[in-house]
Structure 1
């Protein structure tokens, strides 16, 4: 197979992967002044272990949007905004040196974390009271 064809195929695969990671409905972090958190920590809870055992992460606030990932009981999320019973979240590990994900000190902005999406709020419990 010629090198140009292999290179073109690789570019096509990379472009498809990047598009799949994009959300159909972006998540917005509210404006902040540095004194109050701009998101809230929650934990996934109440999923039936005898059922499918996961909470679908979707590309937008509703079941009509693509499923892009899965969360399980005990997974921790940062909740940024809500649309009806759906909430925009980030999840996964944060590396040392990254800024606090809930500490926006400027105008409202799109959430840029790589692990993000929309989940149904029925399966969340607040971490702080």
Structure 2
């Protein structure tokens, strides 16, 4: 969009001297980061999918900003959605999803998960571990 179009749009949206600007798109913010660990001869994650959600229930599994229901809900995943599984904290699993070209290759040093895709925490009761 050119500067003149942006200015025209801002002027068109002004009301009583106030300019209404669209809210910036926020990155997915985690209260507790999902970590991947350097463990001898092991990949950093496993593969799984969402399973067991009842059709007469909510129909989704909440993705949260930390390992617990007290953390804010960031998103929803559904039966058969694919997940990359990282660490467990109690009954919660740190996951990535909608992650193109995901790799669970070994790493030399522990780090926060930094792959492209969405991440968060889900309750492990509705996660089927498939590989890893």
1:120 aligns with 2:128: no
TM-fit CA distance, 1:80: 0.6
Match of 1:107 among 101, 106, 109: 109
TM-score of the superposed pair, with normalisation by structure 1: 0.79
Q: Which runs of 5+ in 2 are unaligned?
A: 1-9, 13-17
CA contact (8 A) 1:41 1:78 kept: yes
- TM-score (normalizing by structure 2): 0.77
Give the helix-richer structure, 1 or 2: 1
Q: CA RMSD of the aligned region, Å?
A: 2.4
Q: Which residue of 2 aligns with 1:81?
A: 87
Aligned length: 118
Runs of 4+, deviation exceeding 6 Å? none
Find the partner of 1:18 among 23, 26, 40.
Answer: 26
Which one is further off, 112-121 or 56-65? 112-121
Q: Which runs of 5+ in 1 are unaligned?
A: none
Superposition pairs of residues 1-129 of structure 1, within 5 angstroms:
1=10, 9-10=21-22, 13-14=23-24, 17-18=25-26, 21-32=28-39, 35-94=41-100, 98=101, 100-112=102-114, 113-128=116-131
CA-to-aligned-CA distance 1:41-75 (integer Å, 9 cap, x gap): 11111000111110000000111111010010001
1:18 CA drift (Å): 2.2
Partner Cα distance (2:37, 2:99) in 1: 22
Tell me which structure has the larger Cα radius of gyration: 2
Residue 9 of structure 1 deviates from its aligned partner by 3.2
Deviations 1:68-103 (A, max 9, x none): 100100011011101100110001141xxx4x4311
